[in-house]
Amino acid sequence: MDGAEIQTAGELYPEIEPYYSNFLPRDGGHRIYFERCGNPKGEPILFLHGGPGAGCSKKDRRYFNPEKWQIILVDWCMAVSS
* 34-51 pLDDT tens trace: 999 999 999 999 998 766
Residue 2: pLDDT band (50, 70, 90) is low
Is the pTM for the entire model greater than 0.95?
no
* Beta carbons of 37 and 59 less than 8 angstroms apart: no
For the chain, domain boundaries: 3-74
Closest CA to 45 of 35, 31, 32: 35
